[in-house]
Amino acid sequence: MFQSPDYSNTLSLKLSEVLEDVGINEEMVMKRRRVNLIRETTMSVTYRSRGGNRTFYHLGSQSEGTTTIGLNSDVDILCINHGINVIQEWSEWKQNEQNLLMIQDDNVSPGYCFLQLLRSDVPLPEINIPNDEVYMRDNYGRILLRNSFMSGIRYNAERHGPSDAVAGEQGYSDMDLVYALPCTSWPQLASHLLEERCFMRWPSNDMIRYAASNGCFVVGVCSKISTFPELEWRISTSLAERCFMFNLNLTQLRCYVLMKIILKTFLNEGNGLSSFMCKTVLLRCIENSENHIWKKSNLSTCLTYCLLELYRSVQNKFCPNFIICENNLMDGQFTIEKKRDLSRKLIDLIQSDGRYLLRLDIDDIGQRLYVKLNRVHQLVYIFETPICIKENCSGILCINLANCINNNMLALESENFENILHAIFMLRHFCVIGNRFEQVACYHFLSFLFLKLGSIMASASIGQNRPLPLVTLRCLFLGWNLDVAFGRLKLASVLYCKGEINNAEIILRQTEERYNTDIVVPLCSCWNHPFDFLHIPAEFKRICSEQRSENSTNKITSCCIRFSMDELHCVPRELQYELMRSTQDDLIYQSPGESIWMQYAIVDSLPFLYFLQYKTYNRLQRHQDQQRALNNLIRTIVTGTNYGHRETALNLLGQCMEQENKPQKALQCYMLSLTQRGRNNAAKFHTCTLLAKYTPR
């Protein structure tokens, strides 16, 4: 294989084909970017519609499209708090706002700063400490903000530097949530990017202007060599870096992916090297080279060039940040022994003429490359095909996006009636002034909030035994297409409780026809239950891979159905018990995350569909259809996957069995329900009631 005189060209082309096969291609890169842009917009729109003042950005490999299934990269989320004005010049000071002045003197590491508190009435330093836990007075009498100020540990998070690290469930990526403060002006230490590079080939003038217009952020973390670890804040130019990555060609992106795979395979994470250093080295190599060398027939040469530059950086223990050159990313990162070990490993890789590529196990890259170079066609079938990889990636992206939307809907659902009206007003405003991603997010949330509003108004009408007003029906129909079943089942439940049984039956029959179990995936964002990606329908993944618009996930997914106490009269009696599932003892064992969804009666969409059909056909005296619905409910509970509220479905089935006069089967359902969720479960009440009813006195 290595005897051919032009093996470098051949190796590059075959390596490019391998990376194309495993998902580093233009289509999948753009799909990942679009999904993550919609997700970050969804989070920001939700927060602002609730009166908050934060913006969320999805950064890193997931949003850049520089990851594979095997790499399983983290989801990096930057949360920007706009309630504080961070300034570099006194001219940027704002009256009646909390102002913080960035201080970059000899006491801070390059690329870092102190944040000094200023007065809000006049542009002068504050002399009184408002809070000793948040602020600290230094030796010069300045009142400085501690970098622990932004630490907001989530209930399921572990603190990693400036971020809350949340471990992903099976099939999901881990998530790093980083809190930051915005500064509208470009960092003074990065002024050379505006002055010296404006005449260079790369980055382009447009990229530099975009980067400068977005300012920077400060993140609550100190440098490795800091003498003031409590007070140092890192200056971050994440949006500029994302802009540069978005403007790389496919060969440059593949080179970066290979560097990360090499880092993970041969250089052992935890030795001081990071993927961000690899990215920085790549950007410097691109800046210092001609554009025409970055083509797929040159991939192996470009990769060697980057590894050589990384070797030089390790040797010198000097890797300057691409934007803030004074910030040495390798300061204090590794010892002399680690440096020697890394240097030896890197030089071995560089001198191996690409042989090390055959030992890359992640995504079977080494074996795939061997097969392509040696044309061993009989081994091709041991790998997932490119089409299968594309479908799997697309399916995961679609589910992640739908879960993000549903999770933010749950946040909006916790608002009261007046706040819902305010959120609708804000979302309609965003629809007018927002970009296309904001309009996509607003469409989903407006449909959901109108549906919620209609359900609350319908509950009030039913409770007072009044006809449903026309405006109520209009609101309910605005959420009609929220997903495959959510809006329709809410409307059907309203009609059933109102006594309009024939209309409810029509809607339920139409919903059953729409809910194709060979396509539709049930989703639940209430709690982090393990999601079984192995049992995602093949047709679902195929549709995800073929659709060009990521905002059409509502046509192939269905989230769980939620009812609040405000919607009590729209809920069938059997489901109302779920609103009172917790005893005083149970409340002690609720985690902060559970306390949100435990306020609702929640059931997965397909079991609820069959349960409503069972009740509806009973009222219509259609006993054959009633038994069919009951059998479907049993089959769904037994064979269905990815249900987040199986215990609720079992409770509903148990009550159906009681109505069928089968108390033993009903008790069996309640016992199974308690094995699913031992606490905060209405099955305890049902069991006690059932035993009291059939126990001889």
Which amino acid is located at 459 in the chain? S
Q: How far is CA 50 from CA 109, 452, 561, in A?
A: 38, 15, 22
For residue 302, being part of any structural domain is answered with yes
Cβ neighbour number for residue 581 with a 10 Å cutoff: 22
Q: Residue 414 and residue 416: Cα distance in Å, rounded?
A: 7
Give pTM, 2 decimals: 0.89
For residue 206, being part of any structural domain is answered with no
Q: How far is CA 328 from CA 110, 215, 280, in A?
A: 8, 21, 11
Same domain assignment for residues 294 and 402: no
Same domain assignment for residues 588 and 442: yes
* Type and span of the H or E element at 658: helix 646-659
For the record, the structure tokens of 638 come out as 């037994």
Q: What is the DSSP letter of 122?
A: S
Question: How high is the pLDDT of residue 533?
Answer: 84
Q: Residue 524 and residue 409: Cα distance in Å, rounded?
A: 11
For residue 476, being part of any structural domain is answered with yes
Burial of 123 (0-12, 13-18, 19+ CB in 10 A): middle
Same domain assignment for residues 324 and 420: no
Q: What is the DSSP letter of 221?
A: -
Same domain assignment for residues 492 and 412: yes
Which segments within 97-215 are labelled E, that is strand?
98-103, 112-117, 135-137, 143-145, 157-160, 163-166, 175-183
Q: How far is CA 93 from CA 83, 86, 232, 409, in A?
A: 14, 8, 21, 37
Same domain assignment for residues 471 and 596: yes
Q: How far is CA 98 from CA 78, 85, 93, 131, 349, in A?
A: 21, 6, 9, 14, 52
Say if residues 612 and 632 touch (Cβ distance below 8 Å).
Answer: no
Question: How high is the pLDDT of residue 335?
Answer: 87
Give the β-pairing of 143-145 and 135-137.
antiparallel
For the chain, give the longest Cα–Cα distance: 95
Question: How high is the pLDDT of residue 196?
Answer: 66
Which segments within 514-577 are labelled E, that is strand?
521-523, 557-559, 561-563
Say if residues 218 and 86 touch (Cβ distance below 8 Å).
Answer: yes
Question: How high is the pLDDT of residue 169?
Answer: 44
In sequence order, which residues have a C-beta less than 8 Å from that of residue 560 and are 6 or more positions away?
A: 522, 523, 524, 526, 602, 603, 604, 605, 644, 645
Question: How high is the pLDDT of residue 436?
Answer: 84
For residue 342, being part of any structural domain is answered with yes
Question: In the beta sheet, which residues pair with residue 54?
Answer: 81
Say if residues 461 and 472 touch (Cβ distance below 8 Å).
Answer: yes
Q: Is 181 strand, coil or helix?
A: strand
Same domain assignment for residues 479 and 602: yes
DSSP of 434-488, one letter per residue?
S-HHHHHHHHHHHHHHHHHHHHHHHHHHHHTT-PPPHHHHHHHHHTTTSSSSHHH
- Domain final residue, candidates 341, 364, 383: 383
Same domain assignment for residues 548 and 409: yes
Give the β-pairing of 521-523 and 175-183.
unpaired
Q: How many domains are contained in the chain? A: 2
Say if residues 100 and 87 touch (Cβ distance below 8 Å).
Answer: yes
How big is the CA angle at 63 (ends 34 and 170), to the nearest 5 degrees? 105
End-to-end CA distance of the chain: 87
The single residue listed with the structure tokens 């917009």 is 41
**What CATH number should be reported for the domain holding residue 329?**
1.10.1410.40
For residue 134, being part of any structural domain is answered with no
- Domain final residue, candidates 368, 383, 398: 383
Q: Residue 28 and residue 526: Cα distance in Å, rounded?
A: 29
Same domain assignment for residues 534 and 620: yes
For the record, the structure tokens of 302 come out as 């470009």
**Domain hosting residue 21, numbered range:** 1-51+248-383
List the helix and strand counts (H, then E) for the chain: 26, 16
Residue 229: closest CA among 332, 126, 82: 332
* Type and span of the H or E element at 59: strand 54-59
Residue segments in the chain with a per-residue pLDDT below the cut of 50: 1-5, 153-161, 163-172
For residue 615, being part of any structural domain is answered with yes
Q: Residue 476 and residue 314: Cα distance in Å, rounded?
A: 62
Same domain assignment for residues 398 and 520: yes
Distance of CA 683 to the CA centre of its chain: 33
Q: Residue 556 and residue 558: Cα distance in Å, rounded?
A: 7
Q: What is the DSSP letter of 532?
A: -
Q: How far is CA 147 from CA 116, 161, 332, in A?
A: 12, 11, 20
- Domain final residue, candidates 355, 383, 411: 383
For residue 614, being part of any structural domain is answered with yes
* Type and span of the H or E element at 281: helix 275-287
Which segments within 198-328 are labelled E, that is strand?
216-219, 233-236
Same domain assignment for residues 411 and 343: no
For the record, the structure tokens of 15 come out as 């390596």
Same domain assignment for residues 576 and 661: yes
Residue 226: closest CA among 102, 100, 111: 111
Q: What long-range pairs does 575-580 form, CB within 8 A, spacing at least 24?
A: 575/601, 575/603, 575/608, 575/611, 575/648, 575/652, 576/601, 577/601, 577/651, 577/682, 577/685, 577/686, 578/602, 578/603, 578/648, 578/651, 578/682, 580/682, 580/685
Cβ neighbour number for residue 168 with a 10 Å cutoff: 14
For residue 22, being part of any structural domain is answered with yes
Q: How far is CA 559 from CA 65, 167, 390, 578, in A?
A: 27, 23, 24, 18
Same domain assignment for residues 454 and 420: yes
Dihedral sign for Cα atoms in the order 283, 285, 290, 293: negative
Say if residues 237 and 183 touch (Cβ distance below 8 Å).
Answer: no
